[in-house]
Amino acid sequence: MKKLTTKRKNYLRRRSKTELKKKKRDRQFRLNKIGTNSYLNQLSFQRKNIAKENKKPGSTIINLSPANTFSILESPNKVIAFIFRLKSYAKPNFSGYQLFIDLANVIQIDIGAISLLLSAVEELAQYKIRVTGNIPDNKNCNEIFIESGYLAHMNSLSSNLLKLQNNTKNSIIKKGRDTTRNSEVGKSIQSAMEMLTGTKKHYQPVYSIVQEISGNSVEHAYQRNSREHWVFSVNHNESENKIIFTFADNGSGILKTLRRKLTQQFFDGLGLKNDAAILNGAYLKNYESRHIGQINRNKGLPLLRRIQENNEVKNLFVLTNRVLLFLDSKKSISINRNFSGTFYYWELDLDCIQNGTN
Amino acid sequence: MEPTEKASTIKVLDFTEYPGPRYKEQGDHSGELFYEKVLKPEFDLILKKSQDSGSLHTLIVNLDDTAGYASSFLDESFGNLAYDYSETVVKKHLKLITKQEPDWNDMIFDETLPEWDQKKKKGIPRKPQLLN
Name the closest residue on chain A to residue B107, using Cα atoms. Answer: A299
Please report which helix (H) or strand (E) contains residue A64, including its range. strand A61-64
Judging contacts by C-beta atoms under 8 Å, the chain B residues touching residue A205 are: 68
Kind and range of the H or E element at A62?
strand A61-64
Name the residue in chain A with its Cα closest to that of B100: A357
Per-residue confidence (pLDDT) for residue A53, from 0 to 100:
38
**Cα gap A300→A293, rounded to integer Å:** 17
Do strands A242-249 and A314-326 pair parallel, antiparallel, or not at all (unpaired)? unpaired
Sign (positive or negative) of CA dihedral B84, B87, B92, B93: positive
Cα distance between residue B43 and residue A186, in whole Å = 28
Sequence-separated (6 or more) residues with CB below 8 Å from residue A30: none
How far is Cα A210 from Cα A300, in angstroms, rounded to an integer? 10
- Cβ partners under 8 Å of residue A268, min gap 6: none
Amino acid in position A58: G
pTM for this predicted structure: 0.84
Beta pairing partners, A44: A134
Q: Which residue has the higher pLDDT, A270 or B56?
A: B56
Q: In the predicted model, is pLDDT for residue B132 greater than 80?
A: no
Contacting A residues, span 72-111, partner chain B, CB-CB under 8 Å: none
- Say what the alpha-carbon torsion angle B105, B109, B113, B115 is, to the nearest 10 degrees: -100
Q: Which residues contact A95 (CB under 8 A, 6 or more apart)?
A: A49, A54, A127, A128, A129
Which chain B residue's Cα is nearest to A302?
B71
Mean pLDDT of the A142-158 span: 81
Percentage of the residues of chain A whose pLDDT score is greater than 70: 81
Q: Tell me the chain A residues in contact with residue B111 when contact means C-beta distances shorter than 8 Å.
A: 296, 299
- Whether residues A293 and B111 touch (CB distance < 8 A) is answered with no
Chain B residues whose beta carbon lies within 8 Å of the beta carbon of residue A181: 27
Residues 6+ apart with CB under 8 A from A318: A254, A279, A324, A325, A327, A342, A343, A344
**Confidence at residue A36, expressed as pLDDT on a 0 to 100 scale:** 32
Kindly tell me if the per-residue pLDDT of A8 is higher than 70: yes
Of B65, B71, B112, the CB nearest to A212: B71
The pairing of strands A130-134 and A98-101 is: parallel
Q: Which residues of B touch A230 (CB under 8 A)?
A: none
Q: Among A182, A208, A292, whose Cβ lies nearest the Cβ of B20?
A: A182
Residue A18: helix, strand or coil by DSSP?
helix
- Asked whether the predicted pLDDT for residue A184 surpasses 50, the reply is yes
Using CA atoms, how far residue A20 sits from A10, A13, A66, B4, in Å, is: 15, 11, 39, 87
**Least CB-CB distance to A179: which of B26, B65, B66?**
B26
pLDDT given for residue A49 in this prediction: 46
Compute the average pLDDT of residues A36-53: 45
Q: How far is B78 from chain A (nearest CA, A)?
A: 11
Sign of the C-alpha dihedral computed for residues A70, A343, A232 and A186 taken in this order: positive
Inter-chain CB proximity A296 and B131 less than 8 Å: no
Mean pLDDT of chain A: 83
Interstrand relation of A332-348 and A314-326 (parallel, antiparallel or unpaired): antiparallel
Q: Which residues pair with A70 in a beta bridge?
A: A109
Average pLDDT of the residues in B37-42 = 98
Are residues A294 and B69, on separate chains, in Cβ contact within 8 Å? no
pLDDT of residue A95: 83
Which one of B12, B17, B18, B63 makes the best mutation probe of the A interface by having the most chain A beta carbons within 10 Å?
Answer: B18
Confidence band, pLDDT 50/70/90 cuts, at residue B3: very low
Q: How distant is the Cα of A200 from the closest Cα of chain B, in angstroms? A: 12
Note the pLDDT of residue A24.
64
Chain A residues close to B31, C-beta within 8 Å: none
* A207:B119 CB<8 A: no
pLDDT at residue number A163? 66
Residues in A touching B25 (Cβ below 8 Å):
222
B116–A296: do the CB atoms touch at under 8 Å? yes
**Going edge to edge, which strands form the sheet with A130-134?**
A61-64, A98-101, A130-134, A44-47, A156-157
pLDDT per position as a tens digit, B21-38: 999 988 999 999 999 999
Model confidence pLDDT, tens digit, residues A205-236: 999 999 999 998 887 654 555 667 889 999 99
| Tens digits of residue pLDDT in B59-114 | 999 999 999 999 999 999 999 999 999 999 999 999 999 999 999 999 999 999 99
CB contact under 8 A, A208 and B72: no
Nearest to B26 by CA among A295, A255, A212, A319: A212
Q: How close A142 comes to chain B (CA, Å)?
A: 34
Euclidean distance between CA atoms A258 and A279, whole angstroms: 9
Query: Best interface-test mutation with B: which of A175, A179, A182, A247 has the largest number of B CBs within 10 A?
Result: A182
Encode pLDDT of A309-339 as tens digits: 999 999 999 999 999 999 988 899 999 999 9
**Quick check: A183 and B69 CB within 8 A?**
no
- Say what the pLDDT of residue B95 is: 97
ipTM higher than the 0.90 cut: yes
Contact B69, B21 (CB under 8 A): no
Count of CB pairs separated by less than 8 Å, A with B: 113
List the single range of A33-47, A59-73, A116-130 with lowest mean pLDDT.
A33-47
Nearest C-alpha neighbor of A141 from the set A106, A187, A176: A106
